Amino acid sequence: SSDEYQWKGPFYFIQGADPQFGLIKSWAVGNTESGDDEWGEEIKLTEQAVQAINKLNPKPKFFVLCGDLIHGMPGTQWRKDQEQDLKNVLQNTDQDIPLVFVSGNHDIGNTPTRETIDNYCKSWGDDYFSFWVGGVFFLVLNSQLYFDSSKCPELKQAQDTWLNGQLAAAKKHKCKHVIVFQHIPLFLREPDEDHDYFNLEKSVRQEIMEKFHKAGVKAVFSGHYHRNAGGCYRGLEMVVSSAIGCQLGEDKHGLRVVLVTDEKIVHRYYSLDELSSQGLEKDMMDMLAKQN
């Protein structure tokens, strides 16, 4: 609504990533192609995440899931069941907390097509869009189009054109901050690190980082790595959050609390156990209470 264009003081939201129903089992048995026929563990973890979020007071403004909602790639056997089970869990999210979905490589395929993207949109909503909350401008991007758009170049072109228009409009509106959500990180630690499966190709990355920097984007929040990581590029913070689901490093299953203040964005990763048992820590609560 139009009053969301106005800054009204500090607020926070919750970022989660990679519930990826089916990965825990398939990783354990060493078959990530078709070993994803069980996801009871992920159901429990995502239920715990939803319960933790529902208990928070004050409420977060929204809950964003940064991709890889399920493990089954387009066309695989368990995909529909995984999607349905995830929706059943997420339906219990407090109705005052909107859900924001971001497409990941498992949701639309490593090399997406118009068809895989259409199917995603039918299930979860648009693959890229923007919204305002309390004077802050948020962009959700389809990072798969930057990873490999060989089967749908016209869709990448459309997202680029749209994005340029959105960033120009954000500048004109003098928003307090611009924040981006995408599944694949621009980079994991260093802006000039080598390209691999977990980040974007260097020339593509450079172009996006420059574009974001010029437009005054404050932070990009991603998942995909199943570990916490991050770094900075000329004032743009890249935040990589670990998974609700399968962990590939030393982190705990968790969620990131992101607090937006007048001058900065403060965030902290909580394990699901921590967030369930203690909620936000005092310093976070104090920052939220500041009226400016």
Indicate whether this model's pTM tops 0.75.
yes
Q: Is 3 among the domain residues?
A: no
Mean pLDDT score, 83-104: 98
Reported as a single tens digit per residue, the pLDDT across 243-264 is 999 999 999 999 999 999 999 9
**pLDDT category of residue 174 using cuts at 50, 70 and 90:** confident
- Phi, psi for 118 (deg, rounded to 5): -60, -45
Reported as a single tens digit per residue, the pLDDT across 112-159 is 999 999 999 999 999 999 999 999 999 999 999 999 999 999 999 999
Q: Is 20 among the domain residues?
A: yes
Reported as a single tens digit per residue, the pLDDT across 175-190 is 999 999 999 999 999 9
Q: Is 5 among the domain residues?
A: no
For residue 3, what pLDDT is reported?
A: 87
In angstroms, the CA 145 to CA 152 distance is 8
- Judged against a pLDDT cut of 80, whether residue 1 lies above it is answered with no
Domain, as residue range, for 261? 11-289
In angstroms, the CA 208 to CA 148 distance is 15
Q: Is 155 among the domain residues?
A: yes
For residue 234, what pLDDT is reported?
A: 97
- Judged against a pLDDT cut of 70, whether residue 272 lies above it is answered with yes
Reported as a single tens digit per residue, the pLDDT across 39-54 is 999 999 999 999 999 9
For residue 4, what pLDDT is reported?
A: 94
Mean pLDDT score, 85-97: 98
Q: Is 1 among the domain residues?
A: no
The secondary structure of residue 5, as a DSSP letter, is G
- Pick the closest to residue 65 from 39, 36, 93, 32 (CA basis): 93
In sequence order, which residues have a C-beta less than 8 Å from that of residue 249 and are 6 or more positions away?
225, 226, 227, 228, 242
- 127, 142 in Cβ contact below 8 A? yes
For residue 292, what pLDDT is reported?
A: 56
CATH code for position 277:
3.60.21.10
Q: Could you tell me the two tokens for 8? A: 């009204």
**pLDDT category of residue 80 using cuts at 50, 70 and 90:** very high
Work out the percent of the chain whose per-residue pLDDT is above 70.
Answer: 99
Q: Is 23 among the domain residues?
A: yes
Torsion of CA 72, 80, 77, 272, to 10 degrees: 40
**pLDDT category of residue 94 using cuts at 50, 70 and 90:** very high
**pLDDT category of residue 194 using cuts at 50, 70 and 90:** very high
**pLDDT category of residue 19 using cuts at 50, 70 and 90:** very high
Cβ count near 209 (within 10 Å):
21
Exposed (0-12), middle (13-18) or buried (19+): which is 50, by Cβ within 10 Å? buried
- Judged against a pLDDT cut of 80, whether residue 276 lies above it is answered with yes
Q: Is 190 among the domain residues?
A: yes
For residue 2, what pLDDT is reported?
A: 74
Q: Is 6 among the domain residues?
A: no
- Mean of pLDDT over the chain: 97
Exposed (0-12), middle (13-18) or buried (19+): which is 77, by Cβ within 10 Å? exposed
Reported as a single tens digit per residue, the pLDDT across 199-243 is 999 999 999 999 999 999 999 999 999 999 999 999 999 999 999
How many structural domains are present in the chain? 1
